[in-house]
């Protein structure tokens, strides 16, 4: 199964709150899980990525949590800011480099 | 700025026509990937080239073709265009296979 399922489709968070986006996959051959941020009119920008040998990776306000047994991974955005308002995509890849993307989550952070 | 350059930014053409989209990868990157983003299909991998050779193929239509030139820039050719080909086409590049992919800002193709 090549799908990556992403939820929720949209998310509204108050400034300073925590934004959480979840993804699930079926293919156990996947070994690279990046998150991309996309603003209107721009290409996806790599935010943070994780490989299955660790359960968590943190970069600034962004954290990936990875659960290998459940085949799930999530993005946490701490202290969410209006400037974080964008569409977020999870993705996965395995022995081939092609990224299989989730369907995206539109995040809106209100002041 | 990702360092990946795509031209043109916008392209408007008619059904049945042929277009060429161009991508210049980041300096030093040998791998180029093409993706299509549409409202109904999301972001879909089309094809990958590494150092001039095709490395992987996704859901790329037979009417579409690509190549990577000796200077590492890549072109995606779309022919016999249909209304359903209207989409954003992104190019990404990476240093080597299995390295992070960095995306350009895309070419918006509109078929009238």
- Check residue A51 and give its pLDDT: 92
Residue B11 confidence (pLDDT): 97
Cβ–Cβ of A43/B2 closer than 8 Å?
yes
Of the listed ranges A10-19, A46-55, B17-26, the least confidently predicted one is A46-55
Of the residues A99, A100, A104, the best mutation for testing chain B's interface (the one with the most B CB atoms within 10 Å of its CB) is A99
Mark residue B12 as left, alpha or beta (left: phi above 0; alpha: psi -120 to 50; beta: remaining). beta
Contact (CB<8Å) A97/B101: yes
Q: Given this model, what pLDDT does residue B96 score?
A: 84
Q: Which residues of chain B have pLDDT under 50?
A: none
Q: What is the pLDDT of residue A44?
A: 97
Task: Write out the DSSP string of chain B.
Answer: --S-EEE-SEEEE-TT--EEEEEEPPTT--EEEEEEEETTTEEEEEEEEETTEEEEE-S--TTEEEEE-TTS-EEEEE-S--GGG-EEEEEEEESSTTS--EE---EEEEE-
Residue A1 has pLDDT above 70, yes or no: no
Which pLDDT score, from 0 to 100, does residue A22 have? 98
Contact B97 A97 (CB under 8 A): yes
Residue B95 sits at the chain A interface (C-beta within 8 Å): no
pLDDT in tens, A60-76: 999 999 999 999 999 99
Mean pLDDT in residue range A33-43: 96
Per-residue model confidence (pLDDT) at position B88: 97
pLDDT for the residue numbered A97 = 83
Q: What is the pLDDT of residue A96?
A: 76
Cβ-based contacts of A94 with chain B (< 8 Å): none
Q: pLDDT exceeding 90 applies to what percent of chain B?
A: 90
Please compute the mean of the pLDDT values over residues A92-99 and round it to a whole number.
Answer: 87
Per-residue tokens: B94:
């990476």
């Amino acid at each position: 199964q090549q799908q990556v399922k992403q939820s929720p489709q949209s998310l509204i968070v108050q400034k300073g709150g925590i934004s959480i986006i979840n993804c699930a996959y079926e293919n156990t051959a996947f070994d690279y899980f990046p998150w991309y941020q996309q603003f209107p009119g721009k290409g996806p920008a790599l935010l943070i990525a994780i490989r299955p040998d660790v359960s968590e990776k943190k970069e600034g306000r962004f954290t990936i949590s990875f659960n290998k047994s459940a085949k799930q991974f999530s993005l946490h955005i701490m202290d969410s800011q209006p400037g974080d308002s964008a569409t977020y995509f999870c993705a996965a890849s395995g022995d081939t480099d092609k990224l299989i993307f989730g369907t995206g989550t539109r995040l809106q952070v209100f002041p | 700025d990702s360092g990946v350059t795509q031209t043109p930014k916008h392209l408007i053409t008619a059904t049945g026509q042929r277009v060429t989209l161009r991508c210049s990868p980041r300096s030093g990157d040998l791998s180029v990937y093409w993706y299509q983003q549409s409202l109904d299909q999301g972001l879909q991998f089309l094809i990958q080239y590494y150092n001039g050779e095709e490395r992987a193929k996704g859901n790329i239509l037979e009417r579409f073709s690509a190549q990577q030139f000796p200077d590492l820039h890549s072109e995606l050719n779309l022919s016999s265009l249909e209304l359903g080909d209207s989409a954003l086409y992104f190019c990404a590049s990476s240093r080597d296979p299995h390295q992070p992919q960095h995306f350009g800002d895309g070419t918006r193709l509109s078929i009238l």
